[in-house]
Structure 1
Amino acid sequence: MFVARILANTSAVLLVLLSYSNLLVQQQTLASTSREQNCDPIGRVLSGGDRTLPKGSLLCKGDRLSPSSGKIVKILCYQNQKVLQLGKGAVDDSGDKCVPQTIGMQQCTPQSRSKCPKPKNPGSDEPTIISPYSSLILNPRPSIRWNPVGGATSYVVIWRGEGVSWSKVVKATELAYSREEKALSVGTTYKLTIIANSGDSPVSASYSAVNMLPSSTTQQITSLIKQIQSLKLSPDEEARDLDSVYMSQKLLTDAIEVLKARVDANTTNPTIYRLLGDRYLEAGLPADAEKMYIEASALAQSADNANELAASRTGLERSKLAQQP
């Protein structure tokens, strides 16, 4: 009888403890869900060491870090596309922390249309190079794309630079970097030439300097990419983080490629479309940007995402201004 009472009491205690544990889990889940719903993300925690925001946590406006004594926390800031090392305190209360940056695109307004990105006009008399989207790249085998030239029957693509010298004739207006040729080397500048032909005669050409990222910076970016991939984020979250990492070094081509891959995978995340619109606008492709902003607006409205809806509508206005003569 005595043993039976002990067992009964022990079972009762275990039930109480189990109920209390389940309650704590439910409260934590509700708190986490509420935080995600009310958060307009401004960055992500990349390292451990904080008491309340573990590695991989999203950062919201007004968040504060509470690292262990003497430690700093590495964060990726979406707002200024910087990787920061911060100590105790708010993450966004001063200019050297996670705060929005002022970029030229933000100055594109009806009153300051001259500040809008200049479009790479399609239908021109020259095969204007579209991709690589900027002169600085990380990918040693970049895809090449250019605007068509009226009356052109073929194009010649030419790469020249240290250790690289090859050309190819194509009828399309895009070409993957040949796998049979040597890749571009870090820290090296190359000349990319596109010649438009009519029959056997060249009619026009475009040139672009393509600069590979220096070795030391390449190693830093590669290390950050591996760190983000180790977080096991969703594909959309990872793409957003990689976009910020690439743009921290003005790697517009690599940023566009990682975002476009998610759009091609038919994501329904409005942030991805809006960010791709931003990048297209920066690359001088306002018509492509407009399509992304329209899609982002529709998805944001369906998801009742007021922040993304406002951002995509602002981008849409800028893309239309940039297309006006």
Structure 2
Amino acid sequence: MTATMIRSAVLSGYVDVTLSLGLDPMLLLRSVGIGPAGLAASDIWLPVTAVDQLLERTAAEANCDDVGLRLAERRGLSGLGPVALVAREEPDIRSAVQIVLRHITLHNEALRVRLTEINSLTTIHVQAAEGVSLGRQFRQLSVGATCRILCDFLGPTWRPVWVCFAHPAPLDLDAYHRILGPSIEFDQDFDGIVCYSHDLDAANPLADPLLRPYVREYLRTLAPAGESIADQARAVIESLLPTQRCSAAVVADRLGMGRRTLHRHLAHAGETFTGIVDTTRLDLARRYLTQRDRTLTDIATELGFSELSAFSRWFHRHTGHSPSQSRRHQS
């Protein structure tokens, strides 16, 4: 089985944090099999299991429950490398976040980040990829880094409505409040951030309209080698479905082309935009229905339906049975 990997940029600031805790960083790095090259460059791939073990071991040795957050405090948009160059030129913050979500695996294969919007609130779920187990410190780092990236766009004084962690509350909350703000909830059913949807609709203050055409072209080069336009469209559609803004025009814009050009590419491949949306939704629906902690209403929302009844009718039309029947059959 191929190991899940992460860029060594994740360890940026690790030496300073570890020294501040009175520990020997090199000894800890060697104990998990990470050599000096892991710190000498930011673009080396490291096994996620080794990094996760390193953070947990550091926290245990220092008797410090917030090592991941201390690393997150030093994070920001620049830590995403080339993806940051593209995201910062998006016209609004929502578009920039979508760019980050779509290309997160270029830097971290262990994470899956998704957005859901309900009642003017947007939830950013930060979760481990399928088959990957992450410790508390890694999850702290991931949520904290996400918060810091949003602060780069929205300003240093911005704070989320809530920050949620699945783990219990620690005894000392000072670092949590200093880095993430006052509204933190523990023992939740997910790790992530809740913010006002209108925050993401704000104009991106970092964008330069004159540079956007160039970074759009660069964005297209970030797609995995051999990935077709149809495959790229599927990835964008999956990230846009929860926003209920998954139109051909928006998807084409994310891919750096016009709507007609997108339709032409898809037709050449024997595909249609509507067909790809339906197959993507169906694949996601079947996957989500196996996860018992997701309600049917939650699934409907994540697939871009405004009401559960609309999702049920669509699912029945494509499969011949209702979502609840499908869930019972899978059980």
Instruction: Name the one with the larger helix percent.
Output: 2
Instruction: Name the one with the larger strand percent.
Output: 1
Q: Higher relative contact order by CA 8 Å / sep ≥ 6: 1 or 2?
A: 2
TM range (shorter): under 0.3
Which TM-score applies when normalising by structure 2? 0.23
Larger radius of gyration: 1
Which TM-score applies when normalising by structure 1? 0.24
